[in-house]
Amino acid sequence: MPVYILGISALYHDSAAVLLRDGVVVGAAQEERYSRLKHDASLPVRAVQWLLSDAGITASDLDHLVFYEKPLRKFERILATSVATFPRSWGAFPRQMRSWLGDKLWLRSTLCATFGVRPERVLFCEHHLSHAASAFYASPHAEAAVLAVDGVGEWATTTLWRGSGTTLEPIAEVRWPHSLGMLYSTITAHLGFAVNEGEYKVMGMAAYGQPKFRAEVDQLLRWDASGGYALDLDYFSFHWHPTRSGTPALERLLGPPRFPGAPFTPAAFPGDATPEQVADSQRYADVAASAQAQMEEAMLRLVAHAKAAVGTDALCLAGGVALNSVANRRIAKEGPFAHLWVQPAAGDAGGAMGAALWVWHAVLGNPRGPALSRPDLGRITPVDRAREMLTDLGAKFEVVDDPARSAAADLAAGKVIGWVQGGDEWGPRALGHRSILADPRSAETKDHVNARVKYRELFRPFAPAVTVEAADAWFDIPEAAREPVRWMLATADVRPEKRAAIPAVVHVDGSARVQTVDAGASPLFHRLLSEFGALTGVPIVLNTSFNLKGEPMVSCTVDAMASFHRSGLDLLYVDGFRVERPR
């Protein structure tokens, strides 16, 4: 009989579920794709229903259900922090207790009642161990240093592990409230973006600035001789205030915060902005550039310490900070490791996969299997069902025998298309299964897609997807980053002589968050790129996630049609069907 293990991450942000059969991932899904609530934190009931149904099993067939962290230890940290920071924490404490004295603290019984499993089958894995397991066990490396960096788990915020075979040995950790993830999130809030959602906007904003506030942001962080660090807590309030991340001292240090939604008009594109608006925007860009530079160098310090402590050729990264693709590029280019691995859902969603793999390898003692090689681990809509949905919605559609060739021709003609093929991507990046695609050869395409299709900030860059065979001719990819760029998790410089050919996907600093596409892992998307290259001489398309601002990526045909009708997309491709806009 096969062994089924269900991993769950939930109750903070980006809840997800992953199902293993005999140690192999057969499905992985984030709850937001079903509930349509971006970063949905609730228990992933809908995701689990799909996983079990798709596998043809019920909850009674599960050998283990594992949660990605230990609630009692997390409650200990929250309670201890509240006591240590009292009376400043008086506003946050009642909120936290209302939440934790409900379902969170008695999570085993909640999981049993919600998912229909017996108590003896429920296990709990530590948060950072789940991160480490998601990075190491899903990687192709038998030996590796494993570094997990995020906001916080139970107590740990940064951990280093030695991965060997099926063993993960803890080496060192930094504990709450000292956290690189929370430092970057505090700057994110200062710049007017939502914490746990807007950090990538800071990364994009940083390219428009210079690190002129580097001396100021360096005051926020202190390093010790052993490779550890500490925050200067005079500038932070995230550990005791219910809503505010920084103190007035931070505002005195960096200047007034940006009001959420305020126009961003730096010197690079002032438009009709007043000189004061340009000056304010440039200051925000400089703050972002300073925080990004600090994060990159902090990660390089941690990576150097990991090499000295563990001494392997491979480094596996996990945690929300591992989604910082600019930092990953510097780690690959300047760091001491020959190989860098980051799995597609490096943040909290990926903890569901790590917890499940931990049970299979560390608890049950099973040997390693194949590395994760495909991103399309989520819901698939059968072709007949997609046809039925399109018909019921009154869509004008046609069957195309070769969707890759047809879509390539439409892109070459200047159309912007929605592309829904196969299963959902695992993780936050669109990797050619739930994508908005466009021709990268016109500079106007970037502003058009931002303003008329996705309704988002004009400074936001777009990513290029390129066939793996053509990647080196167009991009300067560090050798150690060959694996992360498959998942769009490391940037690369666009070769100077190629930048004028693909201006829509070249960021202001000459870089791009490139995705290399392999025919074995994504055959249809690879063929689309090849067909587009045959037509245009450019085997690259602009690729961004198929969602509108503030929404999760689309999952099924109905989601795609809803976004299609509410956006400026020209065409929609859904599993062999070409859908036109209604007149």
Q: What is the DSSP track for 272-323?
A: T--HHHHHHHHHHHHHHHHHHHHHHHHHHHHHHHHHHHH--SEEEEESGGGG
Kindly report the backbone phi and psi dihedral angles of residue 504, in degrees, each rounded to the nearest multiple of 5, phi listed first: -70, -15
Q: Which CATH class is domain 4-68+70-124+348-363?
A: alpha beta
The C-alpha atoms of residue 353 and residue 16 are separated, in whole angstroms, by 9
**Matching CATH number, 175-342, of 3.40.630.10, 3.30.420.40, 1.10.1030.10, 3.40.718.10:** 3.30.420.40
pTM value is 0.95
Tokens matching residue 155: 């107590």
Q: For residue 13, indicate whether it is catalytic.
A: yes
Q: Do 4-68+70-124+348-363 and 383-580 show the same overall fold? A: no
Q: Residue 479: how many CB atoms within 10 A of its CB? A: 10
The C-alpha atoms of residue 535 and residue 527 are separated, in whole angstroms, by 12
The domain ranges of the chain are 4-68+70-124+348-363, 175-342, 383-580
User: What letters, b where the CB count within 10 A reaches 16 and e where it falls short, cover 234-244?
Assistant: ebbbbbbbeeb
Per-residue pLDDT of the chain (583 residues; tens, 9 = 90+): 899 999 999 998 899 999 999 999 999 999 999 999 999 999 999 999 999 999 999 999 999 999 999 998 998 888 888 888 877 877 777 777 777 666 677 899 999 999 999 999 999 999 999 999 999 999 999 999 999 999 999 999 999 999 999 999 999 999 999 999 999 999 999 999 999 889 999 999 999 999 999 999 999 999 998 889 999 999 999 998 888 999 999 999 999 999 998 989 998 876 778 889 999 999 999 999 999 999 999 999 999 999 999 999 999 999 999 999 999 999 999 999 999 999 999 999 999 999 999 999 999 999 999 999 999 999 999 999 999 999 999 999 999 999 999 999 999 999 999 999 999 999 999 999 999 999 999 989 988 888 888 877 878 889 999 999 999 999 999 999 999 999 999 999 999 999 999 999 999 999 999 999 999 999 999 999 999 999 999 999 999 999 998 899 999 999 999 999 999 999 999 999 999 987 7
The C-alpha atoms of residue 253 and residue 220 are separated, in whole angstroms, by 10
Domain 383-580 homologous superfamily, CATH: Carbamoyltransferase, C-terminal domain (3.90.870.20)
CA distances (Å), origin 441, targets 266, 414, 517: 24, 10, 19
Look at residues 296, 288, 336 and name the one whose alpha carbon lies nearest to residue 312. Answer: 336
